[in-house]
Amino acid sequence: MEALNLEDIQGFVLRQYLFPVLRHFLLKVGDPAAARAMIGRLVSGDENDAPQISTAEEAPPGTTYHLHLGITYAGLVALQVKEKLPNLAFKSFAAFVEGAAPRAARVGDVGRHAPENWVGGFSTGNAHILLTLYAARADILDDYTTHLTKLFANTKAFEELWHGDGAALTEVVNGQPVPVPKVHFGYTDGISQVSIKGGPEPALPDHQQPCEPWLFVLSDDAENYYLPDPPELSRNGSFGVFKLIQQDVVGFENFLQSQKDKIDPELLAAKLMGRWRNGTPLMLSPETDSPRDGIKFDQMNDFGYVNADGSGDPRGLRCPIGAHIRRVNPRDQPVTGQGRPGGSNNSHRLVRRGMPYGPTYVPGQPDDGIERGLLGYFICSNIENQYEFVLKQWVNDGEFVGAVRMNPKCKDAIIGNNDPAESIFEIRQQDHPDPIKITGIPDFLTTKAAAYCFLPSISALKFIANLK
């Protein structure tokens, strides 16, 4: 196996940035030759000329921003990459070629989530380039934005269709707001990250085998695909699914409270997620979010669900089988598409790079009408087998697991496309034969936009820039 070529891979594929603000720009290609030349300037190495796209090498001290670039298939056409490379073929990557909008129904994005309701031109053929700018401070974000916007306007390379800002949520400490690793609905996020063999950032211990790098970075070594043609364009690239997701924070809190005759609202919040809102996993602490002996941060992800001998929590008494984190990463739980008890990995994992948008919401406060949500980016090597598979088979289905028969109508209560008329979430109890049945769960999310992007390597961006 070849070592990961960190200087060629876009940084955010393999690294999780701690910067508190970011801005995504959706761009339409203006003059194709100017656009290719501009892409070249973003990887020229000349900081004075233009902001530079970050590689996965360790950032030098004092780094204040990171820039990343994704291209949709429509973008490759608009950049004339397809025209100039007659052998261009994403043969085993039909989802990328087709794009997010035509495939929205597969992942449950119908009705109010459907592409005709998406913002910013994401559902049009003009969604070409998604540029992502992380910064250490808001004023730095604005400075680089001004620089990029000027470059794009002066050269007629790109036309901005939309931009969206994300920012870490905050908690007030000593009168000052400080960033916290939380997402709306109040849960601590980012605890569970994929561990990649040879990757620069080892994840927390998690009872799982590290993933093969080709599951996230396109490689000649891959077990289940050939590099798209030409390899100069595809090698060391990745695919990223961008998703703008509105979250109904008031609706979520109200729903938790509405069930308080059946179950304590905080326990319900934990059962729906699989973790207490402070991140403590139910598998390690089913009764309280503050176990007496404490759980060290590096143990917060160190658990499985079902051991090789079938022991553990096969029936979901601690952590419900249908809890969000048990669906999207079943770990050693046998489910369709993944192994047997104690089996520790699968080919359906995703690297998550998300950032909240909208101000921190304090439960109990009245509805201020401000929109809140998540700017999600889900990175993989195969959109069908990773992103779409997880949403279709494990999030929006109730029949993927064998140890306990879930209600066939049971979907992920946090992110599933639930219909309150038929949704159900069952919480099994140690000391009682009947599960607590939570019904009437609404869909707390609204998909506002999505894009299937290719995240080319640095050398591939130069290759595009040099196409004559």
Partner 1 sequence: MQALSQILPPLLPKMFEAADAIGTLHFARFVVLGDTTLAFVSEYDGTFDDYIMDFAKFLGPVFDAIFEHVNNPPPTPVAKNADALLEWTKRNNLDPLAFYSAYPSMTVQDIKTQAVAA
Partner residues linked to 24 by β-bridges: 132, 164
Of 37, 59, 89, 404, the one binding partner 1 by CB under 8 A? 404
| DSSP-assigned letter for residue 157 | -
Give the shortest CB-101-to-partner 1 separation in angstroms. 20
Residue 197 near partner 1 by CB under 8 A: no
Of 226, 262, 368, 420, the one binding partner 1 by CB under 8 A? 226
Residue 205 near partner 1 by CB under 8 A: no
Give the shortest CB-74-to-partner 1 separation in angstroms. 21
List, as one string, the DSSP characters of 344-382. ---S---EE--EEES----TTSPP-----EEEEEEEES-
Give the shortest CB-95-to-partner 1 separation in angstroms. 11
Residue 392 near partner 1 by CB under 8 A: yes
Which residue, 260 or 405, is less far from partner 1 as judged by CB?
405
Residue 168 near partner 1 by CB under 8 A: no
The alpha-carbon radius of gyration of the chain (Å, integer) is 22
* Residues 230, 237: Cα–Cα separation, whole Å: 12
Residue 412 near partner 1 by CB under 8 A: no
Residue 218 near partner 1 by CB under 8 A: no
Q: How many residues bind partner 1 (CB under 8 A)?
A: 32
**Mapping DSSP to helix (H, G, I), strand (E, B) and coil, where does residue 140 land?**
helix
- Identify residue 363 by its one-letter amino acid code: P
Residue 94 near partner 1 by CB under 8 A: yes
How far, in Å, are 41, 141, 167, 460 from residue 46 at the CA level?
8, 19, 28, 18
Per-residue mark of binding to partner 1, 341-370 (x: CB under 8 A): --x---x-----------------------
* Residues 142, 257: Cα–Cα separation, whole Å: 40
Which residue, 32 or 337, is less far from partner 1 as judged by CB?
337
Of 52, 393, 407, 439, the one binding partner 1 by CB under 8 A? 393
Using alpha carbons only, what angle is made at residue 162 by residues 158 and 163, rounded to the nearest 5 degrees? 105
List, as one string, the DSSP characters of 278-323. TS-BTTT-SS-SS-TT---GGGTT---SB-TTS-BSTT-SSS-TTS
* Residues 452, 242: Cα–Cα separation, whole Å: 7
Give the shortest CB-416-to-partner 1 separation in angstroms. 17
How far, in Å, are 11, 348, 389 from residue 393 at the CA level?
30, 11, 6
Residue 91 near partner 1 by CB under 8 A: yes
Residue 2 near partner 1 by CB under 8 A: no
Of 399, 420, 429, 437, the one binding partner 1 by CB under 8 A? 399
Give the shortest CB-431-to-partner 1 separation in angstroms. 19
Footprint of partner 1 (CB under 8 A):
91-92, 94, 222-226, 314, 334-340, 343, 347, 382, 384-385, 389, 392-393, 399-405, 408
